[in-house]
Structure formats: structure tokens, C-alpha cells
């Protein structure tokens, strides 16, 4: 095993600067057909959707029941099904104080209400993934997401670079710190319950997962072509576990289920949790990462914050020996540094990272 990283990760990747989408949305009269063409997705016309009263609901896992001896076994069974068959679930009664959630929500909203020149004080710089802008833009010819985002390393504490943390609103740093600490605790609890279902020592996984980044997303409305653009390209997350909190009750997240797109309707104050590629690899395919995307509303903005939990830098990404047992590993093993470089050097597309990590690839 590699020595644990004591310095911030560097040189993981880069993304080209492109037009600010929030600014484009604010002046639809200036949104020319030529500019809009960069965002139009022809494949949207062919996508199959799951709609109507018979729509399956993403599983809901209750932290209170997981902590209650009377209900824990039943809830653990539900968690097992959610991880093996869905890769997604909503997590309620998580125990994070309402004040922490509301302050994070208010500061997100406050940041995106700032003038563009103020927001761009934390803009991404060449050769750096952190900051305000867009990700996975490598070519002027590629299709772009109808969204802006703020990407920040939050855990461990010595990975933080405060030049990327907004100073406005004034309480942004404090609220993000409080939120990050609470989210790390919840993520480790969830990973611990997953480990019990997998038959391994919970500390084995929780000690591995010490890295956290947050991606704060702003999806402006697009009255011109909301049904032809995407806020987030279909993909699976490269991390191990993502906890998504919606700051507005505007639906937009969709997951690919049985070949069709299934809308996820967020419950109030719930986290939408999904398995990432690194956890699929660690479990040797027992748990599956799932493709998902974000669609755009014609009239209303949508904001969310995704906390992505990954193995610590210095750890390895690969199948866990205790899970593989006498079987064969299905995926390669890479250092987290090399794994991250591979991810950030590629276009965000479906489950391409998993395909690269398969041993028969």
C-alpha cells in the first residue's frame, strides 16, 4: 500500500473555459442559434422515458430504522437490494441538524445570486479542476452541459485551498465546513452498514474513504430548448459514494433503469445516495454504479450540492481481497492518483470509467 498523501493532489486534469450558462440564460434574446447549438443534444429525441403512475420509486432507506434493533435487519435487507439492484436510494432521518442544511442551502443560493464578476473571483484556473466553471470540457466541438458548477476539495482538512472558497456570502466558508463535516459522518455510517451487508469489517471501508469533494451545481432554466439540452451528461460517478442534496424542489435528476430514464423525485431534506465506480470496483461488481443525468426546466432554476466520497489519496482503487475470496478479480487495481487522472482526462460519458477498469478491457 502506498504511503498516505500529506499534500494536496495536483495535476489531476484540466477543463477548457466556456461561456457562463447562467449569464446566457439571463439574456435569452442574446442566445443565438449558433451558441445554443453547442448545447443541443440530438439523442434527446430518441431517449426512452419511464413516466406515469406505474413508475417505480427509488428505494428509501431510513437511518432511524438502521439504528433501531427492532427494525435494523429489515432495513439492512432493503439497503442490500438498493445497492445490488438499484445503485441509488434516498436516505432519510440522517441526523444532520436542520440548521446546517438550511444554512448551506441559503449560502448556495446567495453565491449564485452574486454578480458574475463576483462569482468569477473563484473561477477555475488553467491546470486546476477546483473552482467555479465547468468540468470535462476538452474540445470546442463537444456538446456542453447547460449548467455551471463550483468544485471544491473539502476533506481531509489539509487538502483545502481557500482561494477556491467564496468569501461572499460572508458565511459561505463556515456553512460549507459544517456541512462537509456532518456529511463525512453520514457517509461513513452508510459505508459501515454496506460493509456489514458485504460481510466485512466496517472499519475496513470507512478507513479507506477519507477523501471528500463537493460539486455545487446551478442549472438555469432554458425556455428556448429545455427538452433538447442536458444539465449533466449521462455518466456514472467515479467516486465511491455520492450524497446529493437538492436545494430546490425542482426535479431534474434521472437514472437509467432497465434501458429507460427514470425521474427521481427528491423527498424533502433527504439525501439521494448513489454507488460510484470505485465502490463497484471495491465490491468486485456486487454493487453497481448507475448512469444518471440532469435535465433542465423551461422556467425554473435548479440547485444541488453533491458530496463525492472517495478513497484517500495514497490508497489503491481495486477489488477488496475479502470480497473476491477464491474468485477472480474483475477489475484492475490503480493508485487513487492514477485512477483520478484517468477519470479527469476523459470525456464524461456513460460508464466509460468502469469499462476502462475491467480486466478484459
Q: Provide mean pLDDT across the span 43-64.
A: 76
pLDDT of residue 16: 74
Q: Are 251 and 294 in contact (CB under 8 A)?
A: no
Query: Cβ-count burial of 325 within 10 angstroms (0-12 exposed, 13-18 middle, 19+ buried)?
Result: exposed
Instruction: Record the pTM.
Output: 0.92
- Take residue 23 and report the three cell numbers written for it: 449569464
Please check the confidence at residue 361 and state whether its pLDDT lies above 90. Answer: no
Which of 97-101, 270-274, 335-339 comes out lowest in average pLDDT? 335-339
Percent of the chain whose predicted confidence (pLDDT) is above 90:
68
Q: Are strands 241-246 and 271-275 parallel, antiparallel or unpaired?
A: antiparallel
pLDDT of residue 350: 66
Scanning the structure block, which residue is given the C-alpha cell 463535516?
A: 181
**pLDDT tens digits, residue range 173-223?**
999 999 999 999 999 999 999 999 999 999 988 888 999 999 999 999 998
- Take residue 59 and report the three cell numbers written for it: 428505494
Q: What is the band of 54 on the pLDDT scale with cuts at 50, 70, 90? A: very low
Q: E strand or H helix at 254, and its extent?
A: strand 253-257
Q: How far is C-alpha 294 from the geometric centre of its chain's CA atoms?
A: 11
Q: What is the mean pLDDT of the chain?
A: 89
Helix, strand or coil, per DSSP, at residue 112: helix
**pLDDT tens digits, residue range 279-296?**
999 999 999 999 999 999
How many residues in total does the chain contain?
A: 361
Cβ neighbors of 102 (< 8 A, separation 6 or more) are none
Please check the confidence at residue 267 and state whether its pLDDT lies above 80. Answer: yes
pLDDT of residue 8: 61
Instruction: Please choose, from the candidates 224, 16, 51, the residue with its C-alpha nearest in 3D space to the C-alpha of residue 135.
Output: 16
Q: What is d(CA 245, CA 252) in angstroms, rounded to the nearest whole number?
A: 12
pLDDT of residue 208: 86
pLDDT of residue 13: 57
Please check the confidence at residue 68 and state whether its pLDDT lies above 60. Answer: yes
**Cα Rg, the chain, nearest whole Å:** 20
- The CB density around residue 126, as the number of other CB atoms within 10 Å, is 8
Amino acid at each position: 500500500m502506498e504511503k498516505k498523501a500529506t499534500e494536496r493532489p495536483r495535476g489531476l486534469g484540466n477543463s477548457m473555459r466556456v461561456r457562463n450558462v447562467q449569464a446566457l440564460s439571463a439574456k435569452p434574446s442574446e442566445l443565438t442559434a449558433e451558441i445554443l447549438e453547442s448545447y443541443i443534444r440530438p439523442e434527446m429525441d430518441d431517449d426512452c422515458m419511464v413516466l406515469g403512475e406505474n413508475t417505480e420509486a427509488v428505494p428509501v432507506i431510513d437511518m432511524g430504522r438502521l439504528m433501531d434493533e427492532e427494525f435494523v435487519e429489515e432495513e439492512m435487507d432493503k439497503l442490500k437490494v438498493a445497492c445490488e439492484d438499484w445503485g441509488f436510494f434516498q436516505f432519510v432521518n440522517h441526523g444532520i441538524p436542520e440548521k446546517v442544511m438550511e444554512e448551506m442551502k441559503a449560502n448556495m443560493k446567495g453565491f449564485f445570486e452574486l454578480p458574475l464578476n463576483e462569482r468569477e473571483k473563484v473561477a477555475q484556473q488553467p491546470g486546476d479542476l477546483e473552482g467555479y466553471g465547468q468540468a470535462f470540457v476538452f474540445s470546442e466541438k463537444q456538446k456542453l452541459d447547460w449548467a455551471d458548477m463550483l468544485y471544491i476539495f473539502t476533506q481531509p482538512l489539509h487538502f483545502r485551498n481557500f482561494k477556491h472558497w467564496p468569501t461572499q456570502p460572508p458565511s459561505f466558508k463556515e456553512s460549507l465546513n459544517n456541512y462537509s463535516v456532518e456529511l463525512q459522518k453520514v457517509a461513513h455510517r452508510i459505508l459501515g452498514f454496506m460493509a456489514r451487508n458485504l460481510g466485512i469489517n466496517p472499519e475496513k471501508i470507512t478507513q479507506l474513504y477519507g477523501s471528500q469533494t463537493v460539486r455545487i451545481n446551478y442549472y438555469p432554466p432554458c425556455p428556448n430548448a429545455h427538452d433538447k439540452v442536458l444539465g449533466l451528461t449521462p455518466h456514472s460517478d467515479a467516486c465511491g459514494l455520492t450524497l446529493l442534496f437538492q436545494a430546490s424542489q425542482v426535479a431534474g435528476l434521472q437514472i437509467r433503469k432497465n434501458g429507460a430514464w427514470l425521474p427521481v423525485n427528491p423527498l424533502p431534506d433527504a439525501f439521494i445516495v448513489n454507488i460510484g465506480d470505485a465502490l463497484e470496483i471495491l465490491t468486485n461488481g456486487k454493487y453497481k454504479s448507475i448512469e444518471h443525468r440532469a435535465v433542465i426546466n423551461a422556467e425554473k432554476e435548479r440547485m444541488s450540492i453533491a458530496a463525492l466520497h472517495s478513497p484517500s489519496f495514497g490508497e489503491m482503487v481495486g477489488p477488496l481481497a475479502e470480497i473476491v475470496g477464491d474468485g477472480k478479480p474483475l477489475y484492475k487495481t490503480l493508485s487513487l492518483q492514477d485512477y483520478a487522472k484517468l477519470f479527469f482526462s476523459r470525456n464524461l460519458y456513460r460508464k466509460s470509467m468502469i469499462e476502462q477498469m475491467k480486466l478484459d478491457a
